[in-house]
Structure 1
């Protein structure tokens, strides 16, 4: 029973990303009052899980129920794309004009024309896949439930899925047993050999052999400074961002952000300078071309760390956001997007100094 309760609590983090917002109006606005109604593609019931900025004006957004939207004009209008599924879509990967999206029940979709048309690929698994990452047009990885890692070397024409073997826990408790079969929420690689996986129960795994073997590095977070002395108290990490071959960020439960500066060998929690501490999860970190770091999460939380500074602070979006935000992405240092529940799509054209609501 303890395992079931634990899993439910953890999944609420991502399924809090499954309760959501949606807006039914048009274009991008600094506030939503007094905007005329029109035929729209965005609704209050929409739940958006990921956004990929493909250019300063083009973006792809995916979410619950197989919903897929694209804009070519910076959010003034959105077109509905038929992905051929009603399963939830969680993450997008892009290499040039080729795109991949993963979702429920082992779903992988692929587009070779920039997202206009999509075909299903056989992932080799039926577990939920929460993240996908491609190094180039051929080599890609996807991760999900039950410690699942799927790999391809031919652009997804064939995938091989397996369960990553983790070192057994010392304890025989139900929680310890569950920690041997965690959900993987995100995967990133810097080259053919070096990569990271983040996930449930604080999992921060590192590979230096292209994914053949993985080593858990989350225990390096257990220090006197962090106040965590038991691996079972480590926060689940939902999202990562790789800055370079040595440095990466991971964001997770309790508003915690961890950073590695040595290629994932060791991790440390980031300092926060907040009037009110974060109590809700952070889902996704991102670092823009100018070095500014962002992280988004539940309860509309957005924190940022300007380049050269050492403490994260809350970002001012210029408006209240009453729902979770699941993803952040920038095309360059200026043009960025935030998406989340209730059909929320926010757009910035000035590096995050100001944000506008895109209403479809």
Structure 2
């Protein structure tokens, strides 16, 4: 199978792509091919890259895709460039000013002040004041040009040079249409971002420069990459059709891992002991033990589609499934049991606030669950 697949397969890939963008069950049941393609195309229009997010008193009730901690502050991101902040554990929220109005899909903070957001149109945003203000570090056009320059710089003796140039030229021709789906920073300098059709880039200077690194990833089919996570100098990437890869040299090189199934993986998290947990479509779940490269399947109680996962301060690993169902593990992801929440709604991500309460994003905003 290759990237010149028929329309049916392409439509299926686009629907999976929308799920991974944090659009939850509504996208999983994706509508028609026409509406899916229209939604995908509208996200890539150049206008949202030039237009700042609209300030609105209902920002915390918009479609939000991810929430994380930045020190004691909560930062949530979502559609149309929405970024909202809470300094009281998720009880009250205020909107931050953002220079773009594209959908924002992932956010990572290295400490209380330094943070990054990834989103549609290949955009990466940066803050140095805990999310109060944001600036653009790169976008889909810049990443494509960097990819082409990298390919043109390969020696004539490189067997992959012509193919690399052709692939990079296609990225340039596509314009800004490059959804980034997951971003992760190890510290204030080292970070990695991945996205649709195998997109990947790294930085070692806090995002001042982003270097395409898809050539380091064993992903010849350019499958969508939905998740990137790290522990110390170990990095993992996972995505469409169960593609998994791991680096033990701080991202200099990656090796392919054998996933238990070909079901798409939407989420990955590192555990404090150095292991990793992955989960995704229709009960797909697996883990890597600390120091190992062996992938072990995790048996879930039901074939739930997992949209995000996270480790809490007490060591529990939480999987957030479609429909607002949450599974918890107390043994580093070896076994999971369902945990009841006060209410069930289509949640997109979950985080533990500084005071120990759980805060979640959803199709209807962000809320404290307890």
On whether the aligned pair clears a TM of 0.5, the verdict is yes
Answer yes or no: is 1:216 the counterpart of 2:221: no
Asked if 2 retains the 8 angstrom alpha-carbon contact of 1:217 and 1:265, the reply is no
After TM superposition, give the deviation of residue 214 of structure 1 in Å. Answer: 1.3
Q: Deviations over 1:173-205 (max 9, x none)?
A: 867733874211111222222211111121221
Answer yes or no: is 1:242 the counterpart of 2:242: no
- 1:77-96 → structure 2 map (5 Å cutoff): 84-96=59-71
CA distance in 2, matches of 1:259, 1:159: 31
- Which residue number corresponds to residue 18 of structure 2? 15
- Which residue number corresponds to residue 203 of structure 1? 199
CA distance in 2, matches of 1:154, 1:309: 37
- Which residue number corresponds to residue 133 of structure 2? 158
Answer yes or no: is 1:188 the counterpart of 2:191: no
Q: Deviations over 1:98-148 (max 9, x none)?
A: 110110001101111222211111111000000111122221111100110
After TM superposition, give the deviation of residue 95 of structure 1 in Å. Answer: 2.6
Answer yes or no: is 1:355 the counterpart of 2:330: no
After TM superposition, give the deviation of residue 288 of structure 1 in Å. Answer: 1.2
- Which residue number corresponds to residue 238 of structure 2? 251
Q: Deviations over 1:13-68 (max 9, x none)?
A: 243353529xxxxxxxxxxxxxxxxxxxxxxx9xxxxxxxxxxxxxxxxxxxxxxx
- Which residue number corresponds to residue 96 of structure 2? 121
- 1:315-326 → structure 2 map (5 Å cutoff): 315-317=298-300, 319-321=301-303, 323-326=304-307
Q: For the structure 1 residues 84 and 15, does the alpha-carbon distance in structure 2 shift closer, same or farther, using more than 3 Å as the test?
A: same
SS in 1 for 2:246: strand
CA distance in 1, matches of 2:327, 2:134: 34
Answer yes or no: is 1:330 the counterpart of 2:311: yes
CA distance in 2, matches of 1:354, 1:340: 12
Select which of 162, 165, 172 maps to 1:170: 165
SS in 2 for 1:156: coil
- Which residue number corresponds to residue 141 of structure 1? 116
- Which residue number corresponds to residue 351 of structure 2? none
> Could you say what the CA RMSD is over the residues aligned between the two structures, in angstroms?
3.0
SS in 2 for 1:251: strand
Select which of 289, 294, 300 maps to 2:277: 294
Q: For the structure 1 residues 146 and 128, does the alpha-carbon distance in structure 2 shift closer, same or farther, using more than 3 Å as the test?
A: same
Asked if 2 retains the 8 angstrom alpha-carbon contact of 1:290 and 1:333, the reply is no
TM score, norm. by length of structure 2: 0.69
Which structure shows the higher helix fraction? Answer: 2
CA distance in 1, matches of 2:309, 2:212: 27
Asked if 2 retains the 8 angstrom alpha-carbon contact of 1:145 and 1:182, the reply is yes
Asked if 2 retains the 8 angstrom alpha-carbon contact of 1:132 and 1:186, the reply is yes
CA distance in 1, matches of 2:262, 2:105: 23
CA distance in 2, matches of 1:122, 1:348: 37
Structure 1: tracts of 5 or more residues without a match: 22-44, 46-81
CA distance in 1, matches of 2:179, 2:10: 9
Asked if 2 retains the 8 angstrom alpha-carbon contact of 1:146 and 1:184, the reply is yes
CA distance in 2, matches of 1:354, 1:155: 34
- Which residue number corresponds to residue 72 of structure 2? 97
Q: Deviations over 1:208-250 (max 9, x none)?
A: 222111111221234xxx7x3xxxx222111111111x22111
Structure 2: tracts of 5 or more residues without a match: 30-56, 149-163, 343-370
CA distance in 2, matches of 1:307, 1:13: 30
